[in-house]
């Protein structure tokens, strides 16, 4: 017999009755039924009930066993009485009578329990992550993550892609986030960087003629943490292709991700139609470039109904250049109580409030109610209702000003309204491509231009487009949104040096600065670079959605806390004086 086990804790069934077996695992739960000890023995695969009574030669030793001790038992498989069968367990028809016991690893008093559904502070869970990971939900999440990555790899190989690895130590290259810098021992005073993404390397592969590349790639960014973002590192399904258009990229990645969501989505509906929404429309309709399309609410511009109206606040606002009024329809939200609640939400978001109108049945017909309705009169109110397609029992909320100042709040209000009114289909994955991102934006501090999004995207219209109004230039850049999260970001790349130099020139970067920062890539583009493009899909975020978790740390094996600390391994840590001396560094104490 094997030193530790003849079967796992998920394999035994009625066909094994009468056999002598050996199992190893952790003590999940101990129950004492009048001198008979029942133990749920757990390993990675499942649970088997074992029992021990005073007739067993190891009963005295078994009485000492506690939760989360790691033990090995030898025993005889017995059939459970019909009334005691547990249909929820694969091993629920049998139990093992213990005849021998070996303690493989005793456990001290536990800082958190593995059995049960108790809630523990995140700091405790992360400090004792090795115990937290023993819990069934965490085991399932990590297995799901592994299975999703395997499925992604297979689907990419099936489309003719090969996986190639890119460097983990490279040059610093500003890509929108802070680099993690690594001091060089052989070159004192100089630093490497951990890659924020394999971006430049995968583009260089296309120049080298590899045509199709993918990688499950680690990426490192020194960022502020959020529920859906790690503060240090994350993994992405990174891909690039040569001789492709934007649509080719969409047609390649959609079946991969759609297949993964259908395979692991637990029966939830996966939309097959992925609309392509211009960035400007997404901002207008949803207040965000990562909309949740499960929510049917679509915002609209209603400025004309308030221009020169009796509602002075909006009327005066519209006299200023670049302002508008937007409406958020709220089907079934037509009660003063709900409208007051949303007005309070706007105040909590830092706004003076949020105007509203709601429509109610007065017996002889429909009536528009609320302060706005009284100010603008029945004719304008009715025109708003018809434009928004609302009726009795519905409401609409209004925000005004320069769109960039209120769009984000409007987007959050749309989400809250959809959630509170039960309009969101929770049993569904809804995808949308956001396209036509602007390349430039106006820097309001100095009046100059800055990049609005990825500076390496090919401008639509090429060099000619850059010779016109830069604020009207759109890029071949795209994101994929799903249920309110950005899952994919990508672009058709700017592979022509003259177009790249011009784009950076408009943003205030001279040719020398571009060569200094991105010389490796620009040099390569002067030797027959093919048109190419690709994207990257966030593995952690995809698994988070599939696992129905609200926090990315629930699907990462060993995550950092909110302050980018590893409480288990005590990172970051102070370097020794010898290490600093070897690297030629000195740490300046913070005030």
Annotated binding residues for ATP: 221-223, 486, 538-541
Q: For residue 299, give every residue at least 6 positions away whose Cβ sits within 8 Å of its Cβ, in sequence order, or none.
A: 284, 285, 286, 287, 326, 327, 328, 329, 410, 414
For residues 121 and 109, give the distance between their C-alpha atoms in angstroms, rounded to a whole number: 18
For residues 412 and 244, give the distance between their C-alpha atoms in angstroms, rounded to a whole number: 36
Structure tokens at 156: 């990419």
Q: Where are the alpha helices (DSSP H) in 38-177?
A: 59-63, 122-127, 129-132, 136-158
Rounded to a whole number, what is the distance in angstroms from the first to the last CA of the chain? 64
For residues 189 and 585, give the distance between their C-alpha atoms in angstroms, rounded to a whole number: 8
Evaluated on CA atoms 371, 374, 377, 381, the torsion sign reads: positive
Q: What is the pairing mode between strands 269-270 and 428-429? A: parallel
Closest CA to 226 of 574, 562, 454, 558: 562
Query: Which residues line the annotated binding site for L-aspartate?
Result: 175, 221, 453, 493
Q: Which CA distances in Å does 226 have to 34, 410, 558, 562?
A: 51, 21, 16, 8
Q: Where are the alpha helices (DSSP H) in 35-135?
A: 59-63, 122-127, 129-132
| Contact yes or no for 42/26 (Cβ under 8 A) | yes
User: Between helices 497-506 and 511-525, what is the axis angle to 10°?
Assistant: 160
Query: Which residues line the annotated binding site?
Result: 175, 221-223, 453, 486, 493, 538-541
Strand partners, 170: 193
Evaluated on CA atoms 236, 242, 245, 251, the torsion sign reads: negative
Please report the beta strands in 184-229, taking only residues with DSSP state E, as ranges in sequence order: 191-194, 212-220
Closest CA to 355 of 385, 386, 314, 403: 314
């Amino acid at each position: 017999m094997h030193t530790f086990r003849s079967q796992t804790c998920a394999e035994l069934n009625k066909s094994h009755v009468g056999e002598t077996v050996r199992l190893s695992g952790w003590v999940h739960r101990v129950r004492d039924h009048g001198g008979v000890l029942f133990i749920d023995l757990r390993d990675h695969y499942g649970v088997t009930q074992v029992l021990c009574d005073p007739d067993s030669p190891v009963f005295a030793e078994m009485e000492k066993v506690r939760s989360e001790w790691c033990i090995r038992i030898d025993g005889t498989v017995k059939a459970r009485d019909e009334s005691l069968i547990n249909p929820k367990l694969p091993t629920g028809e049998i139990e093992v009578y213990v005849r021998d016991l070996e303690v493989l690893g005793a456990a001290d008093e536990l800082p958190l329990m593995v059995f049960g559904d108790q809630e523990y502070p995140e700091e405790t869970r992360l400090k004792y992550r090795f115990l937290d990971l023993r819990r069934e939900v965490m085991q399932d999440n990590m297995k799901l993550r592994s299975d999703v990555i395997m499925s992604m790899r297979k689907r990419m190989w099936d489309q003719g892609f090969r996986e190639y690895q890119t460097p983990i130590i490279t040059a610093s290259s500003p890509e929108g986030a802070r680099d993690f810098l690594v001091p060089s021992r052989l070159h004192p005073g100089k630093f490497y960087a951990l890659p924020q993404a394999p971006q430049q390397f995968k583009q260089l592969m296309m120049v080298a003629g590899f045509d199709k590349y993918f990688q499950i790639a680690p990426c490192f960014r020194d960022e502020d943490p959020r529920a859906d973002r790690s503060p240090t590192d994350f993994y992405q399904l990174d891909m690039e292709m040569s001789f492709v258009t934007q649509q080719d990229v969409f047609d390649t990645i959609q079946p991969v991700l759609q297949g993964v969501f259908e395979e692991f989505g637990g029966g939830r509906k996966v939309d097959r139609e992925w609309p392509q929404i211009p960035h400007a429309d997404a901002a207008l309709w949803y207040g965000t470039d990562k909309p949740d399309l499960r929510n049917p609410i679509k915002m609209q511009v209603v400025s004309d109904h308030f221009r020169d109206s009796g509602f002075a606040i909006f009327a005066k606002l519209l006299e200023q250049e670049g302002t508008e009024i937007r409406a958020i329809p709220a089907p079934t939200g037509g009660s003063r109580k709900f409208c007051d609640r949303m007005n309070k939400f706007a105040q909590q978001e830092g706004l003076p409030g949020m105007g509203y109108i709601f429509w109610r049945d007065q017996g002889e017909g429909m009536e528009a109610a609320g302060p706005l309705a009284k100010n603008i009169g029945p004719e304008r109110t009715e025109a708003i209702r018809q434009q928004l397609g609302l009726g009795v029992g519905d409401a609409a909320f209004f925000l005004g000003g320069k769109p960039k100042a209120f769009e984000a709040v409007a987007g959050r209000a749309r989400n809250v309204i959809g959630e509170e009114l039960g309009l969101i289909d929770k049993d569904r994955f809804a995808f949308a491509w956001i396209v036509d991102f602007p390349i430039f934006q106006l820097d309001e501090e100095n009046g100059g231009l800055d990049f609005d999004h990825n500076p390496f995207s090919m401008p639509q219209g090429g060099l000619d487009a850059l010779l016109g109004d830069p604020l009207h230039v759109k890029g071949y850049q795209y994101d994929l949104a799903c249920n309110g999260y950005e899952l994919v970001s990508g672009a058709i790349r700017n592979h022509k040096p003259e177009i790249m130099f011009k784009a950076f020139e408009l943003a205030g970067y001279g040719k020398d600065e571009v060569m200094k920062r991105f010389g490796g890539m620009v040099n390569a583009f002067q030797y027959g670079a093919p048109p190419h493009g690709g994207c990257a899909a966030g593995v952690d975020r995809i698994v988070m959605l599939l696992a129905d978790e609200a926090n990315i740390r629930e699907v990462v094996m060993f995550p950092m806390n909110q302050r980018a600390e590893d409480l288990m391994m005590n990172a970051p840590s102070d370097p020794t004086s010898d290490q600093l001396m070897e690297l030629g560094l000195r740490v300046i104490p913070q005030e």
